[in-house]
Structure 1
Amino acid sequence: MWLDPVRSYDLIGDVHGCAQTLEHLLSILGYSKRAGVWQHPTRQALFLGDLIDRGPYIRETLHIVHSMVEAGHAHCIMGNHEYYALAWNTPLTENGEQRFVREHSARHARLQRETLEQFAEHPYDWQDFNQWFLNLPLFIDAQRFRAVHACWDERLINTLRSRFPDGRVDTDFVRQSAISGSLADQTFNRLLRGVNLPLPYGMSQISQDGYQRSSFRTKFWHEDSAALTYGDVVFQPDALPEHIAQKPLPSQYLRHINNYDAQQPLLFVGHYWRQGQPSLIRPNLACLDYSAVNGGKLVAYRLGQEEQLLPSNFVWVDAQEKGS
């Protein structure tokens, strides 16, 4: 996707249905609501995905962001939760039996419960938004900076570009993601969910969102792959047990970790549920997801023409509403 190289942008992390908090942040950033659309006289917003699920005002959030994008005041990329919605609603026919790209299991239904409930009386609205989700790019490469929901994987992105130059996929690609190990499956998993590695010994953990997980979220940008432990690569709020954290990472896992080094363009991601005061990972790498829907912060980075990210350019508000 082409973006104006001289324009300034406000990149905003995972909203997850926290519409009141979003409006508060936009106001602080200097946006005002005119003709029903939040806008800034000189800047544009860029949302890093995960607008839906978990929060109390999902429909309102989508109307805010969609209106901004349609009016040219914002851009938005796809998060894993928008992909989950698409996959939940995209049918597959096998052996004459209809199912969906994302299995309609109790676990998946629980993850999307708030969204489905809040749109129960607005089915046509929900259809329209699902069509819009399909138009969201999986990444933005503006040359001097990049944005992706969870992980910048150069190999997969270059492969995707050969088929979808602007990063926007189609329904067939969503359907292909139902095939484990396919390019579509790898692309959605890697770009939108990041690098997830299995916990050893077949163990599992109950995460902060109440789900039992047998894997953990990891860094994808580690530069030194020598003698890494599980604790060296974990990147999530839930700490690993100390006896696991100190355990050497199996060598076959190292190939999953990218080398997004300091010479690469500025990169913004969401997804990882950071905590505390917003801070840089590196001078060219920032995560803007600070768990707003769990009572954390909704975070923006005010990007100007800087060549290295500045800690002073973070802007955030404490969440005004929490997900149920």
Structure 2
Amino acid sequence: MYDIIGDVHGQASILKDLLKSMGYKKESGVFKHESRKAIFVGDFINRGPQIRDTLSIVRSMVEAGSAMAILGNHELNAIIFELKDKAGKPFAKRLLKYRLPLIQTLEEFVHFPDEYRSYIRWMRSLPMFLELDGIRVVHACWQDKNIALLKENITEGRLRKSFLRKISKNNSELSTAFWQTCKGIDFQLPKDLLVFDNKGQPHRSFRSKWWLNPQGKNFQELSFESRFDLPAYTIPPEVNGARKPYDEDQPIVFFGHYCLKNGDNILAPNLCCLDSCISRNGKLTAYRWSGEKKLTLKNIVK
């Protein structure tokens, strides 16, 4: 069946070792398995020391049919950073928020501009999510209403520039669906309210457990934040909205993004986060799915 692989972030050597440990072998320069297919959850680029090699491995596998891949927020930032307006000038003046995470990737490709443009075109052909044989794969967050809205607006098998320009303005229901799908749902506090982490640092927002209804939860219960711990203070109902939870009778969702250096990858019988924080000296993680309806720890590979 499928081997779902978490965020690689330019760690090509570690990716090769993981693929070999799962029985993938190189044939004509491409990693293949005789009976299984790999699925990459996005974030192939940035941070690591072997970004070009990583992209080569993932793309060659996808094009040979031995893997599938979806886009992570890092690939989407790269795509938007390369956008041009109708006059051929950089769109939105190449906003700093898109450029900063890309510095290492851009440096690796400084002498290979045509190759980089080819990868950008290829990445625009990748989906933002997959639904396969009873499982779902997304980079950060599966919300049915967001997925439905993206399906309505991405209809040609690739991300059109007109769509991306609209998304980059961040002022619509569609852009919210787009960014929540690849970056998750941040809990935003009002301007006059701060929450302090275990080191005494103030925060106005934090990553939340998108699969829960936040009503009635405290900050600690709702937070899905790998960088700091929040207190068990009740969230004031005036600032705590509601959303439909992702129930255990829904299909299994595999995702990445959240840098779980410590803790379990299986969060519920149908929820698995495969980002084990390789970019911060963690591990590269995969789940070997073979049709089971509930996730099991024995199928986690690191």
Aligned to 2:91, which of 75, 87, 100? 100
Alignment equivalent of 2:216, drawn from 227, 234, 241? 227
Per-residue CA shift, 1:35-75, capped at 9, x if unaligned? 10011011000000000011110110000000000000000
Shift of 1:114: 0.6
Other-structure match for 2:235 = 248
Which moves more between the two structures, 159-168 or 232-241? 159-168
TM-score by length of 2: 0.90
| SS across alignment from 1:10 | strand
- Give, in whole Å, the separation in 2 of the partners of 1:173 and 1:132: 16
* Secondary structure of residue in 1 paired with 2:285: strand
Picking from 273, 278, 297, the partner of 1:287 is 273
Judge which range, 178-187 or 38-47, deviates more: 178-187
Distance in 2 between the 1:308 and 1:259 partners? Answer: 18
Counterpart contact for 2:215–2:241, Cα < 8 Å: no
Deviation (angstroms), 1:184: 3.8
- Work out whether residues 278 and 290 of structure 1, in 8 Å CA contact, stay in contact via their aligned partners in 2: no
Question: Structure 1 pair 282/68, CA: closer, same or farther in 2 (3 Å)?
Answer: same
In structure 1, the residue matched to 2:294 is 308
Tell me if the contact between 2:12 and 2:54 (Cα under 8 Å) persists in the aligned partners.
yes
Deviates more, 1:191-200 or 1:128-137: 191-200
Q: Which shows bigger deviation, 13-22 or 150-159? A: 150-159
**Are 2:132 and 1:145 aligned?**
no
The answer on 1:272 being equivalent to 2:263 is no
- The equivalent of 1:321 in structure 2 is none
Query: 1:102/1:17 Cα in 2 relative to 1: closer, same or farther (>3 Å)?
Result: farther
Q: What is the CA-CA distance between 1:87 and the residue it aligns to? A: 0.7
Compared CA separation, residues 175 and 27, structure 1 to 2 (3 A):
same
Q: CA 1:80 to 1:121, structure 2 compared with 1: closer, same or farther past 3 Å?
A: same
Give the corresponding residue for 1:133: 123
The residue number in structure 1 matching 2:169 is: 179
Counting matched residue pairs gives 297
After superposition, give the CA deviation of every residue in 1:197-221 in whole Å (9 maximum; x if it has no partner): 2356465999xxxxx9752111100
Q: Which of 225, 234, 240 is the aligned partner of 1:236?
A: 225
**Structure 1, 275-284 or 141-150: larger mean CA deviation:** 275-284
* 1:121 paired to 2:111: yes
TM normalised by structure 1 equals: 0.84
Mean CA deviation greater in 26-35 or 158-167: 158-167
Whole-angstrom CA distance in 2 between matches of 1:63 and 1:271: 21
Return the offset for 1:247: 4.1
For 1:122-166, what per-residue CA distance to the aligned partner results, in whole angstroms no more than 9, with x for missing partners? 101100000011011011012510000001111121122234358
Identify if the C-alpha distance between structure 1 residues 260 and 31 changes in structure 2 by more than 3 Å, giving closer, same or farther: same
* Alignment check: 8 A CA contact 2:11 2:54 kept: yes
Deviations 1:66-93 (A, max 9, x none): 0000000000001000000011011236
Mark the runs of 5 or more structure 1 residues left unpaired by the alignment: 1-7, 207-211, 317-324
CA RMSD of aligned residues (A): 2.4
Please give the alpha-carbon distance, in whole angstroms, between the structure 2 residues aligned to 1:274 and 1:101: 33
Counterpart of 1:23 in structure 2 is 16
Contact 1:87 1:101 in 2 (8 A): no
Note closer, same or farther for the CA distance 1:253–1:165 as it changes in structure 2 (3 Å cut).
farther
- In the alignment, is the contact (CA less than 8 A) between 1:84 and 1:102 conserved in 2? no
Matches within 5 A, 1:49-128: 49-92=42-85, 98-101=89-92, 103-105=94-96, 107-128=97-118
Task: Please tell me whether the aligned partners of residues 138 and 167 of structure 1 are also in contact (alpha carbons under 8 angstroms).
Answer: no
Q: Give yes or no for contact 2:186–2:206 (8 Å, CA) kept in 1.
A: yes
Question: Is contact 2:219-2:230 (8 Å) kept?
Answer: no
Q: 2:4 aligns with which of 1, 11, 29?
A: 11
* Residue 195 (structure 1) aligned to one of 178, 185, 192: 185
Mapping of residues 31-50 of structure 1, within 5 Å: 31-50=24-43
Amino acid at match of 2:220: G
User: 1:179, CA displacement in angstroms?
Assistant: 2.4
Provide Cα deviations, 1:217-250, integer angstroms capped at 9, x if missing partner: 1110015x442111111112122453xx424154
Alignment identity in percent? 35
3-state SS of 1:46 partner: strand
- Unmatched 5+ stretches in structure 2: none
Partner amino acid, structure 1, of 2:148: N
